[in-house]
Structure 1
């Protein structure tokens, strides 16, 4: 039988020995501490050549500093020995006991126990080289071949002890117990030598309570026997962009009060029934901890509210969660409520243990979990699951369809289709990619559409709101964007009149004046249009998107021979006035307005820089519309607004 152990040789330093200059009192304290640690067999300091810190030098007696061992480098300096590990082959049949024999080495204790067995209380290590029974070392009994052994996962402080390293044969194979990283042991020694005796316990008092106190439990029969780890479950990866959601409460540290931290994922938490703010807690009775506890701990009621980006309420068709640990059936109830707060569904937790609960009913805006009878150790919730809408719907006219960005979606071309000119490079389609709120787009905008296209057929297509109403289930809209109104004012005719010298652009009878006269009529109807969009997609965030500025802000920037200074000023003023009306009516309707007027700044039509618009003099429906760079600029502005809207609030 051949047993293979591992001897770790560690020497502090690489290159010239560092200087650790201390006063006589510190050196004396360090020497006393080293002697104490040696006596307790926590570490072993061997009098072998090697660089010695000044703080330890007084422990060596009056011999002074010995010659530094090492090798010379190419630059002539002496290099300190490196951290090495080498295998040691003991005599066959002999049990191996390896204690630290190199300067300032600390051996990592390797502990084994039977699978499924309880680790039991920790005991102090016996002096190095002593005959240590398995009950103390936690090492396998070589005579016991009836059980399978595994290595424990222990706190770092439990691993670093001076204890024998065993090697045994099991099933004809050599099982090796290896020591831990030597560099960590060396660092630990230096820290220990610099700390006065009796000061080691102060470190624990500075640790967070979640690490030093026993884990609370929602079961009176389950007691924690070790300090609770702050997070017993690995943090779940962030889930963004809508779709199925499961909140595990492992994304934030234990002790975190919960409010709008999951805002981006469409849910907010609060206390209910007089209870305080819920918080993340460990639970010794729940293997899935951390969990969400009410306030007081495991006794307070918990409320969850489903929200849109921006915090406005929304509804779901069903949700699920786990409740526990339940010791008394029917002592806790889960209720669902509509937007008015009326209870619309109820489920009593009628089993013991960690109990899954699912409520399915149309129009759930919030839920509550609260005790109804005596639950001895209380309860907590976990794994809150629901569906967050993941579809962005793009409505509107040519400034949303992607006009001027061929090729167009089949069936929307002019020659072979209806002329809606829907492009895959349109900013609403681009916005749905890599988004924090949604994942995919449904694009219904159509070039040339008036606001009437929301309710009736336009260019052979169904009413845009009718198409929105058909989106249910996984296709339910989470965000709806709309840019509309320019065609109601005859904006295409205005541009044409100002380009062609034989048509009248300005003056009382000009095209600009005619558009301004139509604006009050449009303004009076816009609020109702936006409310209709919200009604068609009640759980969606509605974004009314304005129009970009078409011409340079100043005469100095403008470089068009066909555009007079007066025409440039009047056209830009008309565009700004339209955007102001859209913004005001959106606010009245309770939806959002996104101002993209400056998105194409310095790249307008007739600018000295490269224009991001299709040329006006080309004589087709694509003129005066943003090309790809313009679409990207508008998308970036809307994306920034939506991201800010979805960000967690205080």
Structure 2
């Protein structure tokens, strides 16, 4: 905030007995330089005003938050983190003219907020302090290797029974139950830690957009058996449901992506916000540029609310 200081102005007193000629010579300069106290105060106040501080914005989280797979990568960011310069945080910061510090990183789970994820990649919470104004994060999908393990296991058994539910039959509840038992409390703790480090910040936890439609899927673009698609949706529903609950429990805002991302999953063709498994590189089964822009729009709407 600008600081205004009142400066006292002392007017000169012309001594008696000054020669007329001297007065005549100095009078024009004196007239030009003489200020009233009010004018001096106003001029000095204007000269000492400092510009308003920019909103300090920090983005945390996993590969969905980092924008993994969306080119180009953020300059000078750790290569392990696959952090995009077009992820939702960069879009929000540009639109809102925020001062962004982005420490999101591919593969991060809740433990990586508190501990170094890789050599040269410090704990994400280190980016926060009392001056932080806004924090966004997407987290929880990598805890217990939830997303990666589910997709891998279901892909491995899909070819044996494309129309059945081999993954659900074999693994089902073992993939879903840890969300309530383990991931929910871990996300709650993560949100507490964020608020401890940034006590003056507005904190927003973003939910995950849909990876798949409610039923059937789109084999081979998403190499999953038809009968296993509902189980993956149930897993995502659990992650978002318990993410919302954790946010509510800790007094944090939840940015819901489930409604707006319906019909924009990896099977949605040109309308997709998620890249299918057949996409080469690290962007497979992650939000594409359109998906990141959609998340940014919901974050901006939440900030404006």
* Superposed pair shares fold, TM > 0.5: yes
What's the TM-score, normalizing by structure 1?
Answer: 0.37
1:615 aligns with 2:276: yes
1:477 is paired with a residue of what secondary structure? coil
1:54 aligns to what?
Answer: none
1:482 is paired with a residue of what secondary structure? strand
1:400 aligns with 2:65: yes
| Change beyond 3 A, Cα 1:320–1:594 | farther
- Offset, 1:420: 0.4
2:239 is paired with a residue of what secondary structure? helix
| Change beyond 3 A, Cα 1:569–1:535 | same
1:635 is paired with a residue of what secondary structure? helix
| Change beyond 3 A, Cα 1:570–1:389 | same
Q: 5 Å matches for 1:213-228? A: none
Correspondent of 2:288 among 619, 627, 636: 627
- Offset, 1:407: 2.4
What's the TM-score, normalizing by structure 2?
Answer: 0.75
1:446 aligns with 2:105: yes
Correspondent of 1:463 among 107, 123, 148: 123
2:55 aligns to what?
Answer: 390
- Offset, 1:567: 1.4
Contact 2:215–2:227 (8 Å) recurs in 1: no
| Change beyond 3 A, Cα 1:458–1:576 | same
1:529 aligns with 2:190: yes
- Offset, 1:546: 0.8
| Change beyond 3 A, Cα 1:455–1:599 | same
Correspondent of 1:427 among 78, 84, 88: 88
- Offset, 1:617: 3.4
1:479 aligns to what?
Answer: 134
Gaps of 5+ in 2: 7-36, 42-48, 161-165
1:492 aligns with 2:148: yes
1:583 aligns to what?
Answer: 244
2:168 aligns to what?
Answer: 506
Q: 5 Å matches for 1:225-624? A: 244=1, 390-412=55-77, 418-435=79-96, 439-460=98-119, 461-469=121-129, 476-490=131-145, 491-500=147-156, 501=158, 505-507=167-169, 509-510=170-171, 512-519=172-179, 520-555=181-216, 558-561=217-220, 562-618=223-279, 620-624=281-285
Give deviations 1:479-522, integer Å, cap 9, x for gaps.
10011000003211211222233696212x41x43332322112
**Equivalenced residues, count:** 256
1:593 is paired with a residue of what secondary structure? strand
State how far apart, in whole Å, the 1-side matches of 2:230 and 2:185 are.
26
| Change beyond 3 A, Cα 1:493–1:621 | farther
Q: 5 Å matches for 1:169-208? A: none
Give deviations 1:149-206, integer Å, cap 9, x for gaps.
xxxxxxxxxxxxxxxxxxxxxxxxxxxxxxxxxxxxxxxxxxxxxxxxxxxxxxxxxx
Contact 2:86–2:289 (8 Å) recurs in 1: yes
Q: 5 Å matches for 1:36-75? A: none
1:394 is paired with a residue of what secondary structure? strand
Contact 1:389–1:478 (8 Å) recurs in 2: no
1:583 is paired with a residue of what secondary structure? helix
| Change beyond 3 A, Cα 1:386–1:408 | closer
Contact 2:90–2:100 (8 Å) recurs in 1: yes
| Change beyond 3 A, Cα 1:389–1:532 | farther
| Change beyond 3 A, Cα 1:391–1:514 | same
Contact 2:86–2:292 (8 Å) recurs in 1: yes
Contact 1:320–1:386 (8 Å) recurs in 2: no
State how far apart, in whole Å, the 2-side matches of 1:321 and 1:597 are.
51
Structure scoring higher RCO (CA < 8 A, sep ≥ 6) equals 2
Contact 1:599–1:634 (8 Å) recurs in 2: no
Gaps of 5+ in 1: 1-243, 247-318, 323-351, 357-383, 645-650
2:15 aligns to what?
Answer: none
State how far apart, in whole Å, the 1-side matches of 2:99 and 2:53 are.
13
Contact 1:549–1:604 (8 Å) recurs in 2: yes
State how far apart, in whole Å, the 1-side matches of 2:259 and 2:291 are.
11
- Offset, 1:434: 2.3
Contact 1:545–1:596 (8 Å) recurs in 2: yes
- Offset, 1:549: 0.8
State how far apart, in whole Å, the 2-side matches of 1:497 and 1:517 are.
16
Which of the two has higher C-alpha Rg?
A: 1
Q: Which has the higher strand share?
A: 1
Could you say what the CA RMSD is over the residues aligned between the two structures, in angstroms? 2.8
**Which aligned segments of 4 or more residues in structure 1 are displaced greater than 6 angstroms?**
none
State how far apart, in whole Å, the 1-side matches of 2:74 and 2:249 are.
35
| Change beyond 3 A, Cα 1:620–1:434 | closer
